[in-house]
């Protein structure tokens, strides 16, 4: 529902909370096939069932008119959508913080434009620094491209860059500290994420590969003197470089 504060309407959910943050999925398509996310032969929605870029922009503008002050573009992989830079340029002129969650594959060629068009912050997925593991996890031999994209984003000067790493036992849990050091070297943030039951998978048993936040925190406590943070999300161990 909507309410009016002064002369401006605002969005209020059924629990009485003001809605200030909205995520918009640009596409369900992705150039990776991460094993914890989707099957290798994923069937995507017919294009005619996906909102047009104009419709997405109109939604974004309507939300900001209702007091939303933070917009995040997600996917799939949002940056593979044809014409997405034009959408981002228009959304960058709205009175809201603009964020993108990406796998990083398109950043080597897009990072500068994203910054120029008003993107404030990036979340970049990175689950491994080892080529063979990265290939097995994403079903794509493009680690070099993602690493180049992260460096391009750093050089572009975004207000904030955060890595997201999904940790799986027996697959990449031995890289937790290496990923932290990678982030610290670049003075960016990193968040470790528990695997969630998304999509049909065949490569591993989720119950066996599940690595909890408590287990990740224990790994980090062995290497670092950690301090509690008041930043959200508070239930995930996060290292700030």
Q: Tens of pLDDT along 22-35? A: 999 999 899 998 88
**Beta carbons of 185 and 176 less than 8 angstroms apart:** no
Peptide bond preceding 220 in cis form (omega within 30 of 0)? no
Average pLDDT over residues 112-141: 97
Q: Of 42-46, 146-150, 193-197, which one has max mean pLDDT?
A: 146-150
Q: 240: pLDDT confidence band, cut at 50, 70 and 90?
A: very low
CB-based burial of residue 46 (10 Å sphere; 0-12 exposed, 13-18 middle, 19+ buried)? exposed
CATH 3.20.20.70: does it fit domain 20-240? yes
- pLDDT for res 235: 39
The b-or-e profile of 35-45 (16+ CB within 10 A means b, else e) is bbbbeeeeeee
DSSP H helices, 70-106, are 84-91
| pTM above threshold 0.75 | yes
Average pLDDT over residues 206-213: 79
- pLDDT for res 4: 58
The percentage of residues in the chain with a pLDDT greater than 90, rounded to a whole number, is 72
Cα torsion angle, 190, 194, 200, 203, sign: positive
Looking at per-residue pLDDT, the higher value among 43 and 92 belongs to 92
- pLDDT for res 32: 93
- pLDDT for res 194: 87
| Average model confidence (pLDDT) across the chain | 88
**Three-state secondary structure call for residue 69:** coil
- pLDDT for res 195: 80
Looking at per-residue pLDDT, the higher value among 36 and 6 belongs to 36
**Beta carbons of 84 and 26 less than 8 angstroms apart:** yes
Give tens-digit pLDDT for 144-177: 999 999 999 999 999 999 999 999 999 999 999 9
CA 203, CA 133: separation in Å to the nearest integer? 13
> Is it the case that residue 131 has pLDDT exceeding 80?
yes
Choice among 78-87, 124-133, 228-237 with the minimum mean pLDDT: 228-237
CA 222, CA 169: separation in Å to the nearest integer? 18
- Which residues are CB-contacts of 180 (< 8 A; sequence separation ≥ 6)? 190, 220, 223, 224, 239
**Looking at residue 209, what DSSP letter applies?**
H
The percentage of residues in the chain with a pLDDT greater than 70, rounded to a whole number, is 84
- Which residues are CB-contacts of 198 (< 8 A; sequence separation ≥ 6)? 36, 37, 38
- pLDDT for res 55: 96
**Beta carbons of 184 and 159 less than 8 angstroms apart:** no
Average pLDDT over residues 89-114: 98
| Element at 239 (helix H, strand E) | strand 238-240
Q: Can you say whether residue 89 is alpha, beta or left, with left for phi > 0 and alpha for psi between -120 and 50 degrees?
A: alpha
Q: Can you say whether residue 205 is alpha, beta or left, with left for phi > 0 and alpha for psi between -120 and 50 degrees?
A: beta
**Beta carbons of 13 and 63 less than 8 angstroms apart:** no
- pLDDT for res 227: 85
- pLDDT for res 23: 96
- pLDDT for res 5: 53
- pLDDT for res 218: 93
CA 45, CA 42: separation in Å to the nearest integer? 10
- pLDDT for res 151: 98
């Amino acid at each position: 529902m909507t309410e009016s504060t002064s002369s401006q309407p605002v969005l209020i959910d059924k629990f009485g909370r003001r809605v200030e943050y909205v995520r918009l999925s640009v596409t369900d398509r992705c150039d990776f096939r991460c094993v914890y996310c989707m099957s290798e032969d994923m069937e995507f929605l017919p294009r005619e069932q996906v909102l047009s870029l104009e419709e997405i922009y109109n939604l974004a503008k309507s939300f900001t008119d209702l007091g939303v002050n933070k917009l995040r573009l997600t996917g799939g992989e949002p940056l593979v959508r044809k014409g997405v830079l034009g959408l981002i340029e228009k959304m960058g002129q709205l009175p809201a913080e603009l964020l993108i969650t990406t796998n990083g594959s398109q950043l080597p060629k897009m990072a500068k434009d994203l910054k120029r068009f008003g993107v404030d912050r990036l979340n970049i997925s990175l689950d491994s620094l080892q080529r063979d593991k990265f290939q097995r996890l994403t079903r794509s031999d493009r680690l070099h491209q993602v690493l180049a994209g992260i460096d391009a984003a750093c050089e572009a000067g975004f207000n904030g860059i955060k890595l997201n790493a999904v940790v799986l036992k027996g697959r990449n849990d031995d890289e937790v500290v290496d990923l932290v050091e990678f982030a610290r070297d670049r003075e960016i943030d990193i968040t470790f994420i528990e695997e969630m039951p998304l999509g049909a998978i065949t490569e591993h048993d989720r119950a066996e590969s599940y690595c909890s936040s408590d287990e990740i925190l224990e790994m980090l406590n062995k290497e670092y003197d950690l301090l509690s943070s008041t930043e959200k999300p508070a239930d995930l161990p996060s290292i700030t470089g």
